[in-house]
Amino acid sequence: MLKDKISRREFVQLTGSILIASMAGATLSALFNSCTKEGSNPVQPPQGTSFTIKLSEHPDLSQVGGFKTFTVNSTPIIVFRTGQTTFKALSLVCTHQGCTINWVNSSMQFQCPCHGSKFDKDGNVIQGPASRNLQSFRTEYKSDTNEVVIYL
């Protein structure tokens, strides 16, 4: 004989079980997807554009070894002065999942706060899960105007 009605207790237990199962499924799906789509949606600046830095306006870059971060078209980048007339520019977007990474001056490396990837001062991967190096950009020092052009 089939029961036409269920008790309040059975209804709450059934509803709770369905809710827990759906939340667990969604959570597992998000976890598996977040670590399998490497670099699926990193923010990248438009290719073929440039960004000019007037060194007189950025004293952090006045000395060799100095560095400064910039945001170009919503993409965070870091610029290092590597010599009297040479500069290095790297994206601060992790190649694993697109998180913004941090430069740690004491260890002279980049670290991703999201999944723990580490990159050396040249943007090369030294610890995963990232498997691709940071994007680097060509730089040009213009001595006549004391400017650095970053080519994206």
Q: CA 16, 22, 26, 31: dihedral to nearest 10 degrees?
A: 70
H or E segment and range at residue 30: helix 8-34
Residue reference for tokens 């965070």 = 76
In this structure, the answer to whether residues 14 and 78 fall within a common structural domain is: no
Provide long-range contacts, Cβ within 8 A and 24+ apart, for 61-67: 61/87, 61/148, 67/103
Q: What is the DSSP letter of 57?
A: G
Same domain flag for 27 and 67? no
Domain total of the chain: 2
- pTM of the entire structure? 0.66
pLDDT, tens only, 118-145: 998 888 999 888 888 888 999 999 989 9
Identify whether residues 55 and 112 lie together within a single domain.
yes
- CATH number reported for the structural domain that contains residue 142 in this entry: 2.102.10.10
Closest CA to 135 of 83, 81, 98, 87: 98
Q: Do 27 and 57 belong together in one domain? A: no
Domain boundaries, position 5? 1-34
Q: Same domain, yes or no, for 63 and 28?
A: no
Q: Say whether both 11 and 63 belong to one domain.
A: no
Q: Which two tokens stand for residue 98?
A: 């697109």
- Does residue 98 carry a pLDDT above 90? no
- Per the CB < 8 A criterion, the answer to whether 95 and 133 are in contact is yes
pLDDT tens-digit series, residues 33-86: 444 444 444 444 455 788 888 988 989 888 998 989 888 888 899 899 999 999
Same domain, 9 and 63: no
